[in-house]
């Protein structure tokens, strides 16, 4: 364990730390908001997808980075959200199917996670077994979506329409244009980011970090950690599911492979490389890696995944903080201190 001192200890007053994470995040989100004005075309089309991957990564970040619970099954929730969206449209529910789909995704995500989570955490199922269960969950969701092909279209997948949002008054906002859906996804992702940041400063957030650091101690201080862990898992499930719902609408398509093990574990790779204990690291780790993957797959397909694999191993062995951690260290502060500024 290294001798870590705060910036106050090193003689630098806290105010000199210009690069607090919230400031950086604000700057980035403002830049992103301005982007469609300056650029158009493919980047604007594809960026919401990466941002939603980022949201998915944040769902793992809050679970793994902040509570210490690793999940290899986030993709299961992601896919379920997308299917919820598709089914809401397909079954022609009353009211705006978009809202139904989004709400359903939140309920399904939180509900499934809460049930599975409590089932396991309440008896103290150990972390590594939990990883295995989430892995199995991914496979199970993939298999269910394949087998129930009358509902889900099986291997061929399902079409998800670009919905329009109605606000009760005024015309409906049609989201078929790139810019329109961009300006729906970006605020949602930003909102989730700031919500999670706020949560980490709340008592519940501190307890989650405590659970990551020393669960026994947290129990000995009087907390029912199974409830907290279940809550964290439920929150992460809801976020992942919501991200999936928006993704489905954006990509207009969902297929079983979205739930699969390979995608689920990609999320872990993104978060590990981006920096698991930094929400911004997780978010832009996902955006960066998936954007790069997309670009490089056209150029040098095989080797990129190999490089990612090697990078992943390197991060696990020596650079737990990922890229965000490295950046944090460069700017003279503590890396991975539970989300404090």
Task: Give the DSSP H/E element, type plus range, for residue 254.
Answer: strand 253-254
- CB-count burial class (<10 Å; 0-12, 13-18, 19+) for 233: buried
Give the C-alpha separation, 234 to 82, whole Å: 18
> Is there a contact between 279 and 339 (Cβ–Cβ < 8 Å)?
yes
Q: Is 29 in the site for other proteins (CB under 8 A)?
A: no
Q: Is 300 in the site for other proteins (CB under 8 A)?
A: no
Query: Rg of the chain's alpha carbons, rounded to an integer?
Result: 20
Please choose, from the candidates 57, 5, 68, 55, the residue with its C-alpha nearest in 3D space to the C-alpha of residue 29. Answer: 55
Q: Is 282 in the site for other proteins (CB under 8 A)?
A: no
> Is there a contact between 207 and 223 (Cβ–Cβ < 8 Å)?
yes
Q: Is 318 in the site for other proteins (CB under 8 A)?
A: no
Applying CB under 8 A, the span of 47-55, 83-91, 190-198, 260-268 interacting with other proteins comes to 260-268
The number of CA neighbours under 13 Å toward the Cβ of 69 is 34
Q: Is 261 in the site for other proteins (CB under 8 A)?
A: yes
Q: Is 203 in the site for other proteins (CB under 8 A)?
A: yes
Q: Which residues in the 40-99 window bind other proteins by CB under 8 A? A: 70
Q: Is 313 in the site for other proteins (CB under 8 A)?
A: yes
Q: Is 309 in the site for other proteins (CB under 8 A)?
A: yes
Applying CB under 8 A, the span of 170-178, 188-196, 216-224, 321-329 interacting with other proteins comes to 216-224
Torsion-angle region of residue 95: left (phi > 0), alpha (psi -120 to 50) or beta? Answer: left
Q: Is 24 in the site for other proteins (CB under 8 A)?
A: no
- Residue 114 tokens read as 């809460």
Q: Is 231 in the site for other proteins (CB under 8 A)?
A: no
Applying CB under 8 A, the span of 55-63, 268-276, 286-294, 325-333 interacting with other proteins comes to 268-276
Q: Is 334 in the site for other proteins (CB under 8 A)?
A: yes
Give the C-alpha separation, 286 to 120, whole Å: 28
One residue of 316, 330, 331, 341 binding other proteins per CB under 8 A:
316
The string of DSSP codes covering 73-91 is -HHHHHHHHHHHHHHHHHT
Please state the closest distance from residue 332 (CB atom) to other proteins, in A: 15
Q: Which residues in the 138-157 window bind other proteins by CB under 8 A? A: 139-140, 143-144, 146-147
Please state the closest distance from residue 219 (CB atom) to other proteins, in A: 5
- Residue with tokens 């947290």, as numbered in its chain: 218
Give the C-alpha separation, 298 to 294, whole Å: 7
> Is there a contact between 289 and 56 (Cβ–Cβ < 8 Å)?
no
**Which chain residues interact with other proteins by CB under 8 A?**
1, 3-6, 8-9, 70, 119-120, 123, 125-129, 131-133, 135-136, 139-140, 143-144, 146-147, 203, 206-207, 209-210, 213-214, 216-225, 261, 265, 268-269, 272, 302-303, 305-306, 308-310, 312-313, 316-317, 334, 336-338
């Amino acid at each position: 364990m290294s001798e870590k001192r705060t910036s106050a200890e090193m003689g630098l007053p806290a105010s000199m730390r210009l690069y607090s994470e919230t400031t950086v995040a604000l700057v980035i989100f403002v830049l992103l908001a301005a982007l469609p004005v300056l650029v158009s075309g493919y980047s604007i089309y594809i960026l919401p997808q990466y941002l939603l991957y980022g949201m998915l990564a944040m769902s793992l970040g809050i679970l793994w980075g902040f509570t210490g619970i690793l999940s290899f099954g986030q993709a299961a929730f992601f896919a379920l959200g997308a299917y919820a969206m598709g089914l809401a449209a397909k079954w022609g529910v009353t009211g705006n199917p978009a809202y139904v789909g989004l709400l359903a995704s939140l309920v399904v995500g939180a509900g499934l996670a809460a049930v599975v989570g409590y089932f396991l955490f309440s008896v103290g199922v150990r972390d590594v077994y939990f990883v295995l269960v989430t892995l199995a969950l991914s496979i199970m969701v993939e298999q269910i979506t394949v087998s129930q092909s009358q509902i889900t279209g099986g291997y061929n997948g399902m079409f998800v329409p670009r919905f329009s949002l109605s606000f009760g008054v005024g015309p409906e906002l049609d989201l078929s244009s790139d810019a329109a859906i961009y300006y729906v996804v970006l605020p949602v992702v930003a909102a989730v980011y700031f919500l999670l940041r706020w949560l980490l400063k709340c008592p519940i957030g501190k307890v989650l970090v405590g659970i990551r650091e020393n669960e026994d101690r947290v129990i000995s201080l009087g907390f029912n950690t199974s409830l907290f862990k279940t809550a964290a898992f439920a929150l992460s499930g809801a976020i992942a599911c919501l991200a999936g719902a928006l993704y489905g609408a954006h990509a207009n398509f969902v297929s079983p492979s979205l739930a699969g093990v390979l995608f689920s574990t990609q999320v872990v790779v993104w978060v590990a490389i981006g920096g698991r204990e930094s929400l911004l690291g997780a978010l832009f780790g996902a955006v960066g890696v998936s954007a790069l993957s997309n670009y490089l797959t056209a150029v040098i397909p095989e080797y990129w995944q190999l490089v990612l694999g090697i990078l992943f191993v390197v991060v696990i062995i020596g650079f737990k903080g990922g890229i965000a951690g490295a950046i944090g260290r460069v700017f003279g502060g503590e890396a991975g201190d539970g989300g404090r500024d």
